[in-house]
Chains A and B, each alone.
Chain A
């Protein structure tokens, strides 16, 4: 098991290292002078000031030296300084992290609950309800989050005045963004879960459990869902990524503070250190989630523990 963990850590490390290198390459590819980007188009900065900035940010060093410096800083948890906001990127991320974590956590909970309920209730039935739910899932997973958010805003905030229009002041402000972020993910999860449950319901152990007198819903919850959870688990990495990506759009629609807003602002002003900081953080989170999922699956399913997998 220790070897399995080690190998996966090494692979995740390679991915994060790759993302960091890619980020550094992106920084070098940025057309134009970073000092000019930093100072903005309308500037009267003297050549001395420019030179000072160049030295401060280390732009005067050759590329390989800067690459090593950059990697060294990353290892010690230093993501550099923002060009625009004149603050360390880590500070900026720390400030904006909490609202995004809240949003993602709320969405993931909501998505899983919706998916489990709709899949457990409709799996294996040929009813009108199933047809309606399936259609709703299809619509949910193809609806762009930015439009869904706008529709929800129009209906629930502007028409019915149920929720605040913008911000992240309290829990009521979390409801609409979380629903917006959760629905498309819930659509996908529900489909995969239903497929899994339906496969499980055909297995002999289900018949055996029914014969032992378990109720219909009891069989679904105790036996079928467990089997269906495995394919769902493999989607966790994808879900994490899609929630983190979707947060950019949802935060923009609802005017919420968070990593997404920070990233978007940085992209618009081409504040590369901030862009790269957020992107690297996301890649790291996704890579770590992938390892965890992999290990959990090994722990859950002994059939996967072959020599090749360990």
Chain B
């Protein structure tokens, strides 16, 4: 723990005590006095127990997504009209919905769909970003101008609006939702890959590789891509949370998964109609989304903090 701290202090220069001597006890208590500060931008540091809890939540979510049958006996589509809208209790931990389906079972089975949607969207977005980013680096001046302009245009649109535009063109549905979110996030990763690749291209080992007479493609594949990809993947951790959130938002708006699927956003939308009498139908699936997104954010930021100095964290949003 301490060795990490001292390391970053040297790296980021936060250890330069500008005012320790002048600290008159006047409440300027932020002045660094050694390796007490955690790595990374200050406002963003997360206490270590928080990271452990978040990692545990993520592990639980992943476990539930892989083996939902271990946590619940029923099936997410088991209808029991006699037990409709029963409140949370011993029989049904999270209560039942308007068709008497067990909300806990549906939340458990919804994990797989929801997580997969987010994973697919962020995977596609990062892949697209790598292609776009490398294309701007390699394509020469003209291609670079056009792609930069295109990225500017796409970045002027809020991601959720861009995703809605794509859904309007392609039509609703799960696959189209994934494509829409990926398109909405591609400009962010494209720009990031470009920035990282530019840094790597100026490095000594790339010069050496070029000097050794390696072909352009080989230099890119062997040197530029692996080194530029690290920070991009770190940011993609937080991006996974964002993608998951957008996916469930689109389902919530009635444009993604359709009944009788159990997907968290969709369940939340269905639960909205019964809020007045049965809050549990909407609140629990929403809590599942929120809990997962918070956990992803915490773990992602921790990863970013470990990469501090190499990553511009602002690009993560």
Contact = CB atoms under 8 A, between A and B. Distances in A.
Contact of B149 (A18, A191, A207): A18
A126 B29 contact: yes
Contacts of B28: 124, 201-202, 206-207, 210
Contacts of A278: 161
Contacts of B317: 188, 238
B290 A282 contact: no
Given A138-B297, A204-B19, A268-B254, A14 B152 contact: yes
Nearest to A12: B156
B143 interface: no
Interface residues of A, number: 73
Contacts of B172: 268
Contacts of A204: 18-19
Contacts of B241: 142
Interface string B135-175: 00000000000000110110011111110110111011000
Contact of A191 (B43, B162, B265, B272): B43
A253 to B, nearest CB: 7
B225 interface: no
Nearest to B157: A283
Nearest to B161: A245
Contacts of A5: none
B298 interface: yes
Contact of B31 (A11, A14, A202): A202
B22 A249 contact: no
A157 to B, nearest CB: 9
Given A241-B158, A248-B253, A279-B162, 10 more contacts: A138-B46, A142-B294, A154-B275, A154-B279, A158-B275, A198-B43, A201-B30, A207-B26, A244-B158, A246-B158
A303 B211 CA distance: 39
A267 to B, nearest CB: 4
Interface majority SS on A: helix, strand, loop or mixed? helix
A242 interface: yes
Contacts of B82: none
B35 interface: no
A286 to B, nearest CB: 5
Contacts of A72: none
A263 interface: yes
A181 interface: no
A195 interface: yes
Nearest to B252: A146
A179 interface: no
Contacts of A249: 160, 249, 252-253
A23 B161 CA distance: 12
A147 B158 contact: no
B169 A29 contact: yes
B4 interface: no
B43 A195 contact: yes
A14 to B, nearest CB: 6
B44 A286 contact: no
6 contacts: A138-B297, A142-B245, A207-B26, A210-B24, A245-B159, A248-B160
Given A30-B169, A279-B157, A131 B275 contact: no
A270 B161 contact: no
Contact of A275 (B30, B164, B290): B164
B135 to A, nearest CB: 17
Interface string A266-289: 111010100110110011001100
A31 B168 CA distance: 10
Interface string B12-55: 00000011001010111111000000000111101100100000
Contacts of A134: 43
Nearest to B286: A147
B193 interface: no
B248 interface: yes
B279 A15 contact: no
A141 interface: yes
A175 interface: no
A236 interface: no
A52 interface: no
B282 interface: yes
A134 B46 CA distance: 9
Given A18-B153, A126-B29, A144-B286, A248 B164 contact: yes
Given A142-B294, A282-B161, A290-B156, A153 B19 contact: no
B305 to A, nearest CB: 13
A281 B267 CA distance: 32
A292 interface: no
Contacts of A283: 153, 156-157
B289 interface: yes
Contacts of A31: 171
A199 B294 CA distance: 26
Interface in B191-225: none
Q: Please give me the 6 A-B residue pairs with the lowest Cβ-Cβ distance, nearest first.
A: A245-B158, A147-B286, A18-B153, A195-B43, A124-B30, A245-B160
B43 A194 contact: yes
A264 interface: yes
Contacts of B286: 144, 146-147, 150-151
B192 to A, nearest CB: 15
Nearest to A21: B153
A274 B317 CA distance: 27
A19 interface: yes
Contacts of A203: 18
Contacts of A135: 50
Nearest to B17: A202
